[in-house]
Chain A
Amino acid sequence: MDFEIVFKLIMIVTVFGVSLGTAMYSTLAERKFAAFFQDRIGPDRAGKWGLLQPLADGGKLFSKEEIIPGDANILMFIAGPSLAMLTACMTSAVVPWGTYLEINDLKLPLIVADINVGILYVFGVVSLGVYGIMIGGWASNNKFSLLGAIRGASQNISYEIAMGLSIIALVMITESLSLKEIAAQQSSFHGMNWYVIKQPLGFLIFLICAFAETNRTPFDLPECEAELVGGYHTEYSSMKLGFYLFAEYINMFVSSAVMATLYFGGYNFPFMNELGLDHNIVAILGVLALFVKILMFIFFFMWVRWTLPRFRYDQLMRLGWQILIPLSIVNIIVTGGFVLFFK
């Protein structure tokens, strides 16, 4: 019993560390990939292939001058990036990283918190994420920040609806809200029973909404450099700015993990049960498989960022309200029909 608690602590620390580490190296990957997409070679001076670049960037941000505008609401100004960082780190708690490890007849699930409403938890935390942007933008007492914050808030609220509706169609098939359960269901048919096959439209809607929720291009209107200086983080400097930027990368990691779990089989990989290997080894391979999927999603996020231009605000709202929401409702109806007639 005690060992289970110790293992839980190890899991928490590992998940926290891994998501921070992945986010840290995502910043380097972003710069490298941006360079590759533009026929450049990217940062390569700090360490081999620029591998120490994230440390240098972090050190630079820490040692920069901290500027708090005179008219800013200091408490809120500090609360903004803290909240952004907090909500970014919270989501990863319910993601199942693997099945379970079996040590001395103890079953140790590779998940921090197996709550039976995992999806709702994810949604709750994700919708809290907008407060970081909103509070930070408002507290700066700057019109550009405020405009960015308002855009961020309206964008997140609009796309959360379509995201939720696309998930409802998925939940109609899975009949469970637990991420662990959903991941386990996808292990049938040689570990290839991925929900993206049953829910292609739902996945597409979820993917687009995930881009919007993480404020990534083409939905990066809140921090639109061209017209809003820097959007909600215009007035931020030093590590507070670092927290905002870093939270974006953690969000990207977590939403990649959620997408991989919901639609791409999570830790399942083809022929995982036919290999005839020890259960623990298969579980660890599953964790690696999940990571490969996550990294591919992160690559996809970056690939899109360096391909597509930013939406205009009215286009953004039209896509959200007039296209994605009706489309996800159609998806629910079609899915409902299938469930009704084929089950």
Chain B
Amino acid sequence: MKLTTRSKMVVNKQMTFSERIYLPAIISGMAVTLKHFFMPKVTIRYPEVKRKFAAVYRGVHVLKRDENGAERCTACGLCALSCPAEAITMTAAERKPGEEHLYKEEKYAEVYEINMLRCIFCGLCEEACPKEAIFLTAEEIAPARYDRKSLVFGKDKLVEKEHHPNGKVRGGGPLEERLYHG
């Protein structure tokens, strides 16, 4: 079995004169580096220029709203159950009459917290969610802070700020769509 196409047979031959004086090899090597000197540079000047997020990038979580602006989460707890890092906790509450514009179904999450210190951004919560309520789509990388307390993200940070038509922040929607058409 051949593991690579680039393997070479080792030959113990004597070096030729031009190989032994090294200068041709040095010159060709310096031609290579000089070519790189004038090549376009790959560096991204980070704070000013940001690299585009990949379509399947798993950023900070977003709790989605439906087309009427009501929260989709029903506090079923499947995300917390699926979370391998045990980062998600929630407290369920019953929707009162007159709150239909706020919460989509009769049950909602009163408290929904994700501990960003524990989260490993595996995306199992969005796969587990039956209501398409949680996505790791915010174009934000995992935050860094000096204290632990502020890294437990509550609903104030997680819930989508305003309603987006067709429920997208970026690449939102069903996971399959993001994976294969994003």
Contact = CB atoms under 8 A, between A and B. Distances in A.
Interface of A: 33, 35-41, 44, 303-304, 306-308
B36 interface: yes
A39 B39 contact: yes
A41 B41 contact: yes
Contacts of B38: 36
Nearest to B39: A39
Nearest to A38: B36
Contact of B41 (A33, A39, A303): A39
Contacts of A304: 30
Contacts of B43: 39-41
Which are the 7 A-B pairs with shortest beta-carbon distances?
A307-B33, A41-B43, A36-B37, A41-B41, A37-B33, A307-B30, A40-B43
Interface in B36-80: 36-43, 45
Given A33-B37, A303-B34, A39 B42 contact: yes
Given A37-B37, A308-B29, 8 more contacts: A35-B41, A39-B42, A40-B41, A40-B42, A40-B43, A41-B41, A307-B26, A307-B32
Contacts of B32: 307
Contacts of B36: 36-39
B39 A303 contact: no
Contacts of B42: 39-40
Nearest to B34: A303
B5 to A, nearest CB: 26
Nearest to B21: A323
Interface of B: 26, 29-30, 32-34, 36-43, 45
Contacts of A306: 33
Contacts of B30: 303-304, 307
Nearest to B43: A41
Contacts of B40: 39
Nearest to B44: A41
Nearest to B37: A36
Contacts of B37: 33, 36-37, 303
A36 B43 CA distance: 10
Contacts of A36: 36-38, 41
Nearest to B42: A39
A307 B35 CA distance: 12
A304 B33 CA distance: 9
A181 B42 CA distance: 49
B76 to A, nearest CB: 49
A304 B29 CA distance: 9
A58 to B, nearest CB: 25
B18 to A, nearest CB: 15
25 contacts: A33-B37, A36-B36, A36-B37, A36-B38, A36-B41, A37-B36, A38-B36, A39-B36, A39-B39, A39-B40, A39-B42, A39-B43, A40-B41, A40-B43, A41-B43, A41-B45, A44-B45, A303-B30, A303-B33, A303-B34, A303-B37, A306-B33, A307-B26, A307-B29, A308-B26
B21 to A, nearest CB: 9
A37 B42 CA distance: 12
A119 B29 CA distance: 33
Nearest to A307: B33
A307 B22 CA distance: 14
Nearest to A37: B33
A37 B36 CA distance: 5
A293 B13 CA distance: 42
Nearest to A319: B22
Contacts of B34: 303
A256 B41 CA distance: 29
A303 B32 CA distance: 11
Contacts of A40: 41-43
B46 to A, nearest CB: 11
Contacts of A303: 30, 33-34, 37
A334 B42 CA distance: 50
Contacts of A44: 45
